[in-house]
Amino acid sequence: MSLDDKVVLITGGTGSFGRKFVEVALSSYKPRKIIVFSRDEFKQHEMAVTGFDKECMRYFLGDVRDKDRLYRALDGVGVVVHAAALKQIPACEYNPIEAVKTNVMGAANLIDAAIERNVEKVIALSTDKANAPVNLYGATKLCADKLFVAGNSYSGVHKTRFSVVRYGNVLGSRGSVIPVFKKMASSGSLPITDPRMTRFWITREQGVKFVMKCLDRMEGGEIFVPKLPSMSIMDMARAVAPGVPTRVVGIRPGEKLHEVLVARDEARVTVELDDGFVILSGFDRAMIERYLKRNGGKLCAEEFCYASDTNDWWLTETDLNGLIESDTAEKR
């Protein structure tokens, strides 16, 4: 959908995704208002003084744990992008109740407030780790995804519609393995959890543009998954720090060997499009058939699984270095 003349609010708006979303929205559209909703006043100040000070920009201090504050912030808002979350796996494991309060209860608060304020569209960011989760972060995001899909059922007479975007590792985001590898290269070796490990990769700009495309497509209840390239951890290490030896340290608690973005159990309700997949988890067979007629695409085979180790699109070392250079240039 066009964001021209729209009032858009992004939770967690000072994060790496939020900043890129605002940047693309300002350069590609003419929104009436963009509201950055987050709890860190210093990050909001930093954002405002580094080019995000257009007339349409608003900075709103608040926490998704506070429903009353969300209710106030959503006054007159038409579109919400939900990017606020606690996502560092070790921190979530050590502080589980905090992760639940932000990632689960925060999602529930946003759903209730959006319905009451008659927001038109809400799209939430998810993660591959929500698929068959093995850590608390993934479990909280799975729960949040279920809440957003179910939100379409209890919005009642209200017009609010909810959808989810699920993708893999974001190049250049906080906590990404790439800056960690670059920093550790000077120590003489790189720690590899398991040489068999593979991951999906997406850049911040690709993620933002996919979310914007999904805002246009969404009818409510979908989980959107982009088609992404995979890369092995060993190829990544060679690309980021060529010639630096590696050492195997073992897989960490809460970590998977490979990522799965569409599981086999989801395939029977998943539609494949040219640029991605749409999981219609809350739809019955008749609704899926109607969705196919309206939007095209094809239903995935029942045994289909979209995993990083069986993907047919792979990044080379040259490809990754090109993406890193592009991402670095964007940050300047």
For 251-287, the pLDDT digits (tens) are 888 889 999 999 999 999 999 999 999 999 878 889 9
Q: Are residues 239 and 159 in the same domain?
A: no
Average pLDDT over residues 190-206: 92
Q: Which of 50-64, 100-114, 150-164, 312-326 has the least mean pLDDT?
A: 312-326
Phi-psi region of 5 (alpha: psi -120 to 50; beta: other; left: phi over 0): left
Q: Measure the CA–CA gap between 8 and 58, rounded to whole angstroms.
A: 10
We report the CATH number of the domain holding residue 308 as 3.90.25.30
Residue 172 pLDDT > 90: no
**107 pLDDT above the threshold of 90:** yes
The number of distinct structural domains making up the chain is 2
Q: Rounded to the nearest 5°, which phi and psi values hold at 28? A: -105, -20
Token pair, residue 299, equals: 């239903």
**159, 19: one domain:** yes
Q: Which residue type does 230 have? A: S
Amino acid 62: pLDDT: 97
Query: Any alpha helices (H) in the chain, and if so which ranges?
Result: 16-28, 41-48, 67-73, 89-94, 96-99, 106-116, 136-151, 177-184, 204-217, 233-240, 264-267, 285-295, 317-331
Can you spell out the DSSP letters for 267-312?
HTTEEE-SSEEEE-TT--HHHHHHHHHHH--EEPPTT--EESSS-S
The confidence score (pLDDT) of residue 188 equals 81
Q: pLDDT of 121-142, one tens digit each?
A: 999 999 999 999 999 999 999 9
Q: State the pLDDT confidence band at 327, using cuts at 50, 70 and 90.
A: low
HEC sequence for 183-219: HHHHHCCEEECCCCCEEEEEEHHHHHHHHHHHHHHCC
Range in 212-226, 232-246, 296-310 with the lowest mean pLDDT: 232-246
Same domain, 175 and 119: no
Tell me how far CA of residue 103 lies from CA of 5, 44, 82, 156, 317, in angstroms: 30, 21, 10, 24, 35
Show the domain range for 29: 1-166
Tokens 């809460």 sit on residue: 254
Question: Are both 63 and 85 inside the same structural domain?
Answer: yes
| DSSP label of 314 | B
Residue-wise pLDDT for 45-68, tens only, equals 999 999 999 999 999 999 999 999
Residue 103 and residue 137 in contact, taking contact as beta carbons nearer than 8 Å: yes
Rounded average pLDDT over 180-186: 79
> Which positions are annotated as active-site residues?
129
Q: Is residue 211 part of a domain?
A: no
Report the distance separating Cα 170 and Cα 226, nearest Å.
13
Q: Say yes or no: 198 and 145 in one domain.
A: no
For the chain, the average pLDDT equals: 92
Instruction: Supply the pTM of this predicted model.
Output: 0.94
